[in-house]
Amino acid sequence: MCFSYSQLSKLQDVSLRNCAVNGAGDKGEIAKACPNIRSIDLSKNLLSSWEEVIDIADQLKHLEVLNLSENKLTFPSSSPSPTGTFSTLKVLVLNRTGITWAEVLRCASGWPVLEKLYLESNNIVISERPTDVLQTVKLLDLSSNQLIDENQLFLIAYLPRLEQLILSDIGISSIHFPDAGIGCKTSMFPSLQYLVLNDNQIAQWSFMNELDKLQSLHALSCTRNPLTEGSKDAQTTRQFIIARIGQLRTLNKCAIEPEERRGAELDYRKAFGNEWKKAGGHQDPEKNRPNEEFLAAHPRYQALCLKYGAPEDGELKTQQPFLLKNQLLTLKIKYPNQHDQKVIEKQLPDSMTVQKVKGLLSRLLKVPVSELLLSYESPKMPGKEVELENDLQPLRFYSVENGDCLLVRW
């Protein structure tokens, strides 16, 4: 297919991937043929130097997106003199080009409005702090640069506009923000909203505790890490991450609804309640002094106690080991606000979720599920009532036992 110059001049988005491009060709020919190109993919070609790239880009006065991945480029050994070549460039992709961090910083003075920079698979070592360059960058992808460690990350921690940081497959296993104590926010990465940590070596919950110190973080991806893989219950892991990072709104690309956050925080509060008590936690605020070791392991626990109240003894009853066969519970069902309703008895399996119990009661009472509130009381805890807040949990999670009484309100 042949194109006329008038047709070529209208082109704005061009892909020449794997087309054996090795230079700009005749001087001025690109500007003459395609002056309006805004995005060009030159990946997997035969370009060998940054000077050849400049010769091409010099002719594209409206260039905003440039992909140079998989060209083995040589870069200048000193900062190029400012030419205005990349004065409109917003997105630059340099994956697998062999660029070093020093070369990035040298060339970056020529990218005055750059917003997205992709540097995947370059064996990069972050060797110095960017000063007066990369100050406009909002997204930085450093994936698959296995030599990067947490100390190197601190060198890019003060990029003022950095909102998205992609650190997949760099081998990181730990992070610590030394400027922020328990319950405090770090001054590092002040604008960071979205962090990607897939395919790393994260195995400790302390990593998630540290992420809670990031003042703007609200989205996290951390799949395929030892902490999130293996035989552990994936739903429980998700709940614990949500509970540990208070401002998170999206986890692994799934939105965290307010009801999920509430359930996660309540379950986390209960799961570590006995540990909290042993460490010096107490329902009486005057006596509630868990030790430093517990606070370091669970920095948000005290805040969750303030938010929902300290866990009651009834919630912290030690559960019996789950039997292989579901246990049938004989429970009384009362309606404290409906005096005309008789107390009934029902046999329910202890594996039945709160949601399914509500469904059963909804059909029985002709009341919408959304209006039902469940709690229970036990002869072992006279005068105390335990709410069944999380619809997804089974009755046995709340230590409901044979002979206990379900309280149903609407």
Cβ atoms within 10 Å, residue 303: 13
Q: Are strands 91-93 and 116-118 parallel, antiparallel or unpaired?
A: parallel
**Please, are residues 403 and 330 in contact by the beta-carbon 8 Å criterion?**
yes
Percent of the chain's residues with pLDDT above 70: 95
pLDDT higher than 50, residue 192: yes
DSSP string, 335-384: -TT-TTSPPEEEEEETT-BHHHHHHHHHHHHT--GGG-EEEEE-TTSTT-
On average, the pLDDT of the chain sits at 91
Check residue 293 and give its pLDDT.
94
Residue 16 confidence (pLDDT) above 60: yes
Beta strand 254-255 pairing with 116-118: unpaired
- Alpha-carbon distance 132 to 352, whole Å? 60
**H or E segment to which residue 306 belongs:** helix 301-308
pLDDT at 1 over 50: no
- Inter-CA distances, 306 with 125, 269, 294, 302, Å: 43, 11, 16, 6
Please determine, for residue 373, whether its predicted confidence score (pLDDT) is greater than 50: yes
pLDDT digits (tens, 9 = 90+) for 262-284: 999 999 999 999 999 999 999 88
Res 262: pLDDT: 92
Does pLDDT of 8 surpass 80?
Answer: no
Structure tokens at 383: 């005068």
Continuous H helices in 112-257: 150-153, 205-211, 234-244
**Confidence (pLDDT) at 232:** 61
Instruction: Check whether 291 has a pLDDT greater than 90.
Output: yes
Residue 119: predicted pLDDT: 98
Report the distance separating Cα 140 and Cα 125, nearest Å.
14
- Give residue 111's identity as a one-letter amino acid code: W
Asked whether the beta carbons of 308 and 300 are under 8 A apart, the reply is no
Q: Using 50, 70 and 90 to split pLDDT, how confident is the model at 364?
A: confident
Over the stretch 211-242, which tens digit does the pLDDT of each residue have?
999 999 999 999 999 998 865 678 889 999 99
Give residue 4's pLDDT band: very low, low, confident or very high (50, 70, 90). Answer: low
Structural tokens at position 371: 């209006």
**Spatial CA neighbour of 359 closest among 350, 367, 348, 351:** 367
Helix axis angle for 301-308 and 258-271, nearest 10°, is 110
Q: So what's the pLDDT on residue 315?
A: 72
The two beta strands, 65-67 and 344-349, are: unpaired
pLDDT at position 321:
45
Phi, psi (degrees; rounded to nearest 5) at 397: -60, -35
Judged by average pLDDT, the poorest of 28-42, 95-109, 369-383 is 369-383
pLDDT given at position 230: 65
DSSP secondary structure of 215-233: TT--EEE--SSTTTSTTS-
Which pLDDT score is estimated for 77? Answer: 87
Question: What is the rounded CA–CA span in Å between residue 391 and residue 347?
Answer: 19
- Which of 62-76, 95-109, 223-237, 258-272 is predicted least confidently? 223-237
Please name the residues in contact with 208: beta carbons below 8 A apart, sequence gap of 6 or more. 227, 240, 241, 244, 245
CA distance 360 to 366: 10
| Encoded tokens for 202 | 């994260």
Cβ neighbours of residue 19 closer than 8 Å, sequence gap 6 or more: 45
Q: Which of 44-53, 316-325, 348-357 has the lowest mean pLDDT?
A: 316-325
pLDDT higher than threshold 80 for residue 2: no
pTM: 0.78
Amino acid at the residue 14? V
Q: From CA 332, how far away is CA 211, in angstroms rounded?
A: 45
Q: Which two tokens stand for residue 75?
A: 């870069």
Query: Angle, nearest 10°, between helix axes 234-244 and 258-271?
Result: 100
For residue 140, give Cα distances in angstroms to 15, 108, 109, 123: 23, 13, 16, 15
Task: Determine the distance from the C-alpha atom of residue 403 to the mean position of all C-alpha atoms in its chain, rounded to a whole number.
Answer: 43
